[in-house]
Amino acid sequence: MFNECNLNSSPASYWLFTYLFDIIISVIWFCYLLAIYCIFDVAFNGVPVKKSLLETMLSLEFATPWDLRVQFYPLTIIITLPTLPFAYLLTKLFRSDILGGMTICFLLIISHFISIIIPMVTTIIQSKFTQQLLYWLFNIISPSINAQVIVTYLLAKKSAFCQVPATLSSFGGTFFQPIGDDTIAWNGVILVVHSLAILLILIIIDSGLLQFSFSCFYKENFDESKLDDDVLAERRRVLGSATNASDDEEQIDHLTVNNLVKYYPMRKVLAVDHLTFGARRGEAFGLLGYNGAGKTTTFRIVVGDLMSTQGTAYIDGQNVHRRIRSTRHLGYCPQQDCSMDFLTVQDSLYLLARIRGVQSSRIKFIAQTIGSLFLLDPFLHNYIHELSGGTKRRLHAAIALIGPPLVAILDEPTTGVDPNARQQMQEIFLNAVKAKLTIILTSHSMDECERICNRLGIMVHGQLACLGTIQHLKSKFGQGYTIEIKVRTSLDDQNATAIKKIESFLLSQRQYRVEIKETTHSTGIFQIGQSTPAELFQLLEENKHQLNIETYTISQTTLEQIFLSFGKQIRATIE
């Protein structure tokens, strides 16, 4: 499958080499089966004796399993040639490899039974036109049925029994009427067309030249006036950037998401709703949101793994639908680990370095350097399936940055990573941004986003609910300041009168718009809607002894509190 681990390889080279490799494996497998059968047949039945002239003429040549296999196995490659591209194409319909493999196997079995039933049906049908229609319809639809027709014809030509009519013509008549001579050439043409045309379709699909968006099922109901002011301003900036190009390279967006829509007609779910934003060179853009907000769907569209219903994305000015050019500048650390279990860590780094076009003389150095940066040195010769979950995440982050690309999309790269390695990865991301790499990061760690990101947006229902620098979001959506207070208590104070006294005092200060967030027997957390740190400090210091306050802290609203406030909006919408 042409997946996210192979973003930077050409679709043509990927599918052609996959096809050649699978054909070679098929030939080896057929030879292996034939050799095993011959060995066991000789062991149990002895060496086959040469037939007499009369037996060769009058008996079925394929009367014994030995003859059948020796004649049939070399011809199975004919069935393999068109069936492999057909199976590749069917994989495009499935997200699960296991489900896809089982379904394809089932379809091939069904087509085999159809190839047996069709000749029986055509003997019953009297209409010559209907016979021809059924014959060519199934040969064109099913590559395996057409290939089996060719194999059957070749086996019949090799059979001595099929030559009996010519040999015994003196008896006055023939036993069988030869068939297929007038149509076999067309079967051969269909086989070649099946093999080449399906491969060409695969290459075209993965090159972005043929897309199926199902946009006809989507009824647009988007009102940009409901967007936040900052989100609307960003939308207008990005949509107008095509006509107002900037000469300043620092102001050029390396990644542009342009009016992106993803609608699933079967589930009637709008996963991404006209999402629009840009990330400049050397910017770390954080894309946050609750599970199901549309973050991963957006990433999969950007890397070309999904087709958008409307809109598109651009990487360094290249449309992602033209994957051959655009994704060579893209690194991707997916949320789900890629299936490269039987490569070693070193092999996977070498592979991605070659795909990214790193010079052969520098591959070893670059692989060792990036492996060392991501603390992968002890695991270089381990197979990927032997690694822990956190080590796999470090490897995929390393693969995303190898090259390096112009844009790196990191979908929860530090999930399951230990604190030491997480801190090291964050340092690498910061240094990459300083080196003018554009990073798009999603994470459930607010501290990580605050440390790495220059700007961030929070997605709600497939659209940005807010956008800006972290300080801007705190000023705009933050609710003033948070005060955490601890009071001195005694064992006799069973009713928590000390903390209740604090509550009454602060609520009486109505000019500060105090809200009680949480209280315990001896602690309380209070949200101050309107004030300054100096005023709050003065208020608490003047009343510290009177209120029996032991310690207190005053802090600005955190990014996590802003994030949680949008979560409340989501729950309110659902209810």
What is the layout of strands, in order, in the sheet containing 330-333?
330-333, 407-411, 438-442, 284-289, 455-460, 463-468
Q: In whole angstroms, what is the distance from residue 127 CA to residue 121 CA?
A: 11
As a whole number, mean pLDDT of residues 386-409 equals 89
Contact status, residue 57 vs residue 118, Cβ threshold 8 Å: no
Instruction: Answer positive or negative: Cα dihedral of 103, 106, 111, 114.
Output: negative
Contact status, residue 529 vs residue 479, Cβ threshold 8 Å: yes
Q: What angle do CA 264, 10, 344 make, to 5 degrees?
A: 90
| pLDDT of 165 strictly over 70 | no
| pLDDT of 197 strictly over 50 | yes
Q: Which residue has the higher pLDDT, 528 or 9?
A: 528
| pLDDT of 390 strictly over 70 | yes
**To the nearest whole number, what is the mean pLDDT of the chain?**
81
Q: Where do the domains of the chain lie, and which CATH numbers do they carry?
A: 4-207 (no CATH), 217-474 (3.40.50.300), 479-556 (3.30.70.1110)
Per-residue pLDDT at 494: 63
Q: In whole angstroms, what is the distance from residue 452 CA to residue 242 CA?
A: 29
As a whole number, mean pLDDT of residues 145-162 equals 76
Share above pLDDT 90 across residues of the chain, in percent, rounded to a whole number: 20
As a whole number, mean pLDDT of residues 318-342 equals 75
- 461-496 pLDDT, tens per residue? 889 989 999 888 887 887 678 889 998 877 666 667
Per-residue pLDDT at 60: 45
Task: Indicate the burial class of 96 (C-beta count within 10 angstroms; 0-12, 13-18, 19 or more).
Answer: exposed
Q: In whole angstroms, what is the distance from residue 280 CA to residue 253 CA?
A: 4
As a whole number, mean pLDDT of residues 203-222 equals 69
Q: In whole angstroms, what is the distance from residue 80 CA to residue 445 CA?
A: 50
What is the layout of strands, in order, in the sheet containing 481-487?
514-519, 523-528, 481-487, 549-556
Q: In whole angstroms, what is the distance from residue 153 CA to residue 415 CA?
A: 58
Q: Fill in the amino acid letter for 342.
A: F
Question: Quick check: helix, strand or coil at residue 288?
Answer: strand
Question: Quick check: helix, strand or coil at residue 275?
Answer: strand
Per-residue pLDDT at 150: 86
Q: In whole angstroms, what is the distance from residue 433 CA to residue 419 CA?
A: 21
As a whole number, mean pLDDT of residues 281-302 equals 89
List the single range of 160-169, 186-195, 251-260, 300-309 with lowest mean pLDDT: 160-169
pTM to 2 decimal places: 0.70
Per-residue pLDDT at 248: 59
Q: Which residue has the higher pLDDT, 159 or 203?
A: 203
Share above pLDDT 70 across residues of the chain, in percent, rounded to a whole number: 83
| pLDDT of 394 strictly over 90 | yes
Q: In whole angstroms, what is the distance from residue 311 CA to residue 19 CA?
A: 33
